[in-house]
Amino acid sequence: MQENREMMIQAQELMKTIHEAVDHMIKQLEELRYEETIQLLEDVVKGTESVQMALLPLAKDEEASKLESLHKDLMEKVDKYLDFYRDKEHEAMKEQMSMAIVESLEKWHREMEEMIKSYIDH
C-alpha cells in the first residue's frame, strides 16, 4: 500500500512536469520555434504513457476504461498536431496545442487525479 502511494505521488509530480512542458511548448510556438516542440512533445507522450502504465493497474475497471479512452483521445490530438507539423501548418499547430491538446490533457489529468484521490482516501 505504501509503495502504491509513493508511486502515485511520483505520478502526480510527473503530471505537473508534463503540464509545465506543454506550457513551454506553447511559448515555443509563439516564438516560431516549431521544431523544438516536437522533442518536448515526445517527452510529454512518454510521460503520459509512464503514468498510464504505472497507475492503470490500480484503477477499477470503469476508471481504467475511462482513462484509456481519455489517453487515446489525447494521443489522437498529438497525432493531428504532428500532421500539422509535417504539413507546415503553423497556425493550426498553435491552435491544436493551445486548445485541443491542452483540453484533452486536462481531462485525462483530472480523471487520473480522481482515481488517485479515491485510492488514497480508502
> What's 29's domain CATH number?
1.20.120
| Encoded amino acid at 57, one letter | P
Q: What is the pLDDT of residue 121?
A: 74
Say whether 77 sits in a helix, a strand or coil. helix
Among 104, 21, 6, smallest CA distance to 55 is for 6
Evaluate if residue 68 carries a pLDDT over 80: yes
Q: What is the pLDDT of residue 19?
A: 95
Domain that holds residue 19: 2-121
pLDDT tens digits for 33-67? Answer: 999 999 999 999 999 999 999 999 999 999 999 99
Q: What is the pLDDT of residue 122?
A: 64
What is the tally of structural domains in the chain? 1
User: Are the beta carbons of 53 and 64 closer than 8 angstroms?
Assistant: no
For residues 30 and 9, give the distance between their C-alpha atoms in angstroms, rounded to a whole number.
Answer: 32
